[in-house]
Every structure is written in C-alpha cells, then in structure tokens.
C-alpha cells in the first residue's frame, strides 16, 4: 500500500514524500535529517522519525525541544493511520495511505485536558476566529519583521509615507493569516508571553481593515497635544477597552460596518527589548 507524507503548511506546502516498506524517514531542521526544514526555527535538528512496514507506519518523537503532536495531542510514540496529522515545530504533515481508504475529512480534533496553552490558542484561532488578522509590533522584537519577510504572508505597516519608511523597523504591521498558516504557529509558539501583538477577526478586505485601524494611531491629550497610541500592544488594549463608553467601543470595533468583530489578545509577558515609539520618546500613552 503506497504511503505518503504530505506537507500541509509553510513554504513547502503541498510537497509529498513517498515512504517505501522498510523505510525509516527522519524529519528535522538540519541536514542530519532525511527530510530537513531549515526554515522552521521551532523544529529540532532531528525532530521525529517515521518507520514504515508493508501496511503500517510508526511515529517516534526523538526527544525534540517542542514535542511532536498527533491529531492535537503530544505523543512520544504511536501507530499511524490514514488521515493522521502530525505537527512538528511550526510545520503540519498529513499521512496518506492510498488504496481503499476513505477521503480525509478536515476536522478539529478534541483537545485533552493536558494540552499545552499555546496549542489551545492555535486551535481556537483556527476554529473560531476566521478570517484571521494580527497586528504585530515590530518594536517588541527584531524577529517579527524577519518572520514577516520569511513567511511572505500578506502584510503592511499601519504607517504611511515618509514616516512609514523611517519607522519601518519599529512599526505596527497588519498581517492576514491563513487558516493553515505556518507563520501563525510560529507567532503563537515563539511569541507566547512576549506581547508581540493582538489578533482580530473580520470578514472585511485587508485594505479596509488597515484603513479602519489607522484611525486609532493617534489620540489627543487633554492639553491638546497629539500623540501616538499603541493600541496594538495587548497590555495597552486590556487597559483601554474597559474604560471605553459603549459608543467608543462601537467605534473601535466599527460594528456598524463590521470592520472588526472580535479580538483575541496575546498573553502578556516581560519586555524583551527597549520599546521605541514614533514620537521618539519611548513612552506609551497607556502601559
């Protein structure tokens, strides 16, 4: 029976690897593996191995740093069946045993009580928050801009013109995340607890969402001074939203036009680098 391992996410999505009877396939990040994913920084050098017989296949985790998930649950070793999904690092794989097998049906596997928090967040974002966007704060970590360039998801700074060019390294970026986005895996796992940004869901087009969010980049203080507002920082957003009147809340979420229907806010965490602001003084309006 032909057995195939198909890459389901990331730059190599759609790649299929045939597994022959008696073959052992080691998957990881470095050339030490038989199948290497150098672009996946969350994958261990040799992450897991598949051992295939005539009509069966076994999965073994090789003491990887972030573990190996099978259908949503972390495993060290397990027999595999047609349609099983394996997640290693930020990459998802689908096992296909061709022959008299029913088609693979997309479904969200139930989460066990001991499922890691970031796995629960990933499941929730993919299941309940579609279409999904994120606003990422490049001032929080140099990795953010590098990840956007690496994964090539649709993204754009909320700043424009000369200001946008000068502040590109520390700007807030709107990014549209596909349901099977490998970037989403990386953001949740590497950015967990780092306040990299916020998630939101809306049926509106990218340009319309960006236009709406740009309205909140500046606010006026009681003394009339115009300053930048870091609403995309989850620590700020959690403080700001409870203080809003119903009218202000409706305006922020633009409920009449449904520009933004909901937001999922990242878990807060300690600062990892000095934050820079467009005003140049390094201060937040809310913190």
Spacing of C-alpha 254 from chain mean position: 25
**Best-predicted range by mean pLDDT among 51-55, 115-119, 207-211?**
207-211
Least confident of 56-60, 116-120, 157-161: 116-120
Query: Is the per-residue pLDDT at 98 higher than 60?
Result: yes
pLDDT digits (tens, 9 = 90+) for 241-272: 888 888 888 888 875 444 444 444 444 444 33
Spacing of C-alpha 64 from chain mean position: 20
pLDDT digits (tens, 9 = 90+) for 65-91: 889 999 888 899 999 999 899 999 889
The predicted model scores a pTM of 0.54
Percent of the chain with pLDDT over 90: 34
Segment 198-209 shows an average pLDDT of 89
Residue 100 neighbours by CB under 8 Å, 6+ apart: none
């Amino acid at each position: 029976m032909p057995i195939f391992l198909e890459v389901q996410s990331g730059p190599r999505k759609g790649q299929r690897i045939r597994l022959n009877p008696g073959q052992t396939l080691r998957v990881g990040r470095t050339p030490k593996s038989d199948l290497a994913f150098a672009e996946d920084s969350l994958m261990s050098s040799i992450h897991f191995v598949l051992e295939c017989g005539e009509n069966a296949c076994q999965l073994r985790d090789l003491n990887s740093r972030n573990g190996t998930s099978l259908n949503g649950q972390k495993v060290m070793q397990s027999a595999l069946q047609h349609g099983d999904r394996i997640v290693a690092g930020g990459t998802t794989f689908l096992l296909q045993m061709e022959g008299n097998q029913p088609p693979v049906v997309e479904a969200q596997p139930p989460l066990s009580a001991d499922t890691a928090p970031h796995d629960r967040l990933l499941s929730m974002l993919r299941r309940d928050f579609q279409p999904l966007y994120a606003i990422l704060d490049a001032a929080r970590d140099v990795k953010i801009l590098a990840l956007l360039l690496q994964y090539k998801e649709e993204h754009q700074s909320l700043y424009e013109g000369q200001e946008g060019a000068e502040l590109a390294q520390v700007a807030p970026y709107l990014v549209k995340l596909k349901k099977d986005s490998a970037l989403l895996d990386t953001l949740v796992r590497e950015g967990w607890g780092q306040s990299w940004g916020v998630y939101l869901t809306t049926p509106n087009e990218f340009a319309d969402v960006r236009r709406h969010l740009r309205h909140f980049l500046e606010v006026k203080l009681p003394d009339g001074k115009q300053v930048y507002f870091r609403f995309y920082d989850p620590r700020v957003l959690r403080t700001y939203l409870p203080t809003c009147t119903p009218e202000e809340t409706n305006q922020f979420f633009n409920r009449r036009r449904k520009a933004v229907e909901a937001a999922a806010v990242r878990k807060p965490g300690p600062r990892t680098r000095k934050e820079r602001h467009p005003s140049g003084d390094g201060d937040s309006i809310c913190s």
